Each structure stands twice: as structure tokens, then as C-alpha cells.
Structure 1
Amino acid sequence: MTGFEMVAIYKWLGISAIVVALDLYTKHLIQGAFAYGEMLTFTSFFDLVHYHNEGSAFGFLHDAGGIQRWFFAGVSVIAIIVISYLIQKHRTEKLFCVGLALVLGGAIGNLYDRVTLGYVIDFLNFHYQQMYWPAFNVADSAICVGVGLLLLDSFKKPN
């Protein structure tokens, strides 16, 4: 692998590292500023909260008796390995790798919570009147944006 190829890989991994750092830092701030379940209303549609998600996206399997912690940790580890391989293999495909890097950073951020705490800290809470979107965090946001970029990339014409 040439020096240029290594720089490309480090660039994508750098994006992932920034996502992980922002995710862990914002979760740390929420833990320090809010008691569990506490909410601070900012607008008529947005609150900061301190929730724990023991399941996956939207709380899926949150009540599975604890096995979900290790199941989702295992899924995350497999995803991290596959994504790292794909970044290395496709390191020159910018949009594809940015999407992968965002998903990778989000997966690592949530994996850290899941392994160290047993749950993921969520704190961004959007709603309309009494209809609430499930709370989420920076890692979840990065994963969603990353998946969106991967979908966008899939519509590109082949070279």
C-alpha cells in the first residue's frame, strides 16, 4: 500500500474518530448536567433529555432481559470489521467512504456505551405536540446521515 493510499484511509478513520469524540463528549455533558429522565425544553418541538436505550434503534428489543446488550455489541463489532474492510478496499471513493466513516464512528460510539454502561445514552428529543420521535444521540445521527450518503452513492452511475 502506498503512502497516498494510507493517507486516504487515515482521512476516513479521522472522520470516524471525530464522530466518536463528539458522541462521547456530548453524552458525558448530558450525564453531568441531567438526572436520568430529566428534560429541558428549548423550543416547541425540541428538548434535551437524559434517557437510556437498552435496545437498538427506536428501543427495539429494549425489554429482552439483558441479552440484547451482548447481541447488539456483537452486531456492532461485526459491522465495525466489515466497514473497516470496505473503507480500505474503496478508499478512493469519496462519497462511499464518508458514508462508511460516519456509520463506523456512530457504531463505535454506541458500542462504547453498550459495553461500558449496558445501554446507550440518548438526549436529542424532537416532537410535534404530543407525538414524540424516539430520543437519539450524535452517534445515531451520524449513522443516519452515513446511511443516507451510502444510499445516494448507490445511485451514482458506474464508471
Structure 2
Amino acid sequence: MHPHLTIVCPAGGSIITFDDIPNADPVQGTIPAVYANLQWVDANYINVTARPTSGYRFVVVSGEYIAWNNVALTVQTLLTNNTITLHSCVMAAGWSDAVTLTVVGYRSATQLYTTSFSLNTYQQAVALFQWSGVNKVVFTPSGSGYIDFGIDNLCVTF
């Protein structure tokens, strides 16, 4: 846990910590399809204490749980007419020092934003987006080896 790092979430924003997943397994599991007032597709969670040698220890900012995956992870609004502002999150690679995480923000089928991050297993990356008017965000990893990535303290405004 890195208590010295603070993700600034604006007034009215919500920080999604993954520490309050209902009936969470003590090690890992699948994020419910509806969690934190958002829809999650291909999203997993893990208790970082279960993988102490992974890069996930650099992701966790609050509690012990983070979101992770090794394929595209999609977060979207429950209703297609609703939008969010994606502000920020903390990220790192789980097992490989050669992971590129591409994040794309959409409004319906229209791509509004895109950016990529180089992730490793020995330090966290703080992503500052400030993407408004999106109703779907896709996190897609690529690279060599195990392309697992983790995120914590995802800040959004509804």
C-alpha cells in the first residue's frame, strides 16, 4: 500500500477502490457486472497480499483489492444516454516490464479520447485523464510476456 500517494478526485467525484466488492473472495474473483454504479465487462479483482511479488503491490493505494485483467477491460455507464467524466487512476503491470496499456474513451460508438501508458512491475503510473462525456472506457493491454495490468482508485464523476 502506498499511503503517500493521493489521487485527487474533484468535489462530487467518486473514487472506486475495489475494496467494497460484495462477497469478495479473499484472493481473487470477477468484478460483478454492475459495481459502483457502472457496468464492468471482463473485469477481475485481486487481493494484492495474495501476490506479494507481483507489480500489483505498486497499484494498490487503498485497502488490499485492485482491478486487474490481461485482456480488454471495459467500464461503461448503466444507461447509454448517461455519461461520466473519467478523471484518474493508478496503474502498474502485474508480471512483465513490457506492458503497454491503451485506454480509449467512447460516447456510444464514437471514439472521443485515446492514450497509452508504458507500465512495469516496479513503480506505479498515475493516469490523469479529465475525459468528459464518455459512456464507455476500454483498457487494452499489449506487449510481450504476461500482459496483466492492475488499476486502483479509479476516479469518475457521474
TM-score where L is the length of structure 2: 0.29
Bigger proportion of residues as strand = 2
TM-score where L is the length of structure 1: 0.29
> Which one has a bigger Cα radius of gyration?
1
Bigger proportion of residues as helix = 1
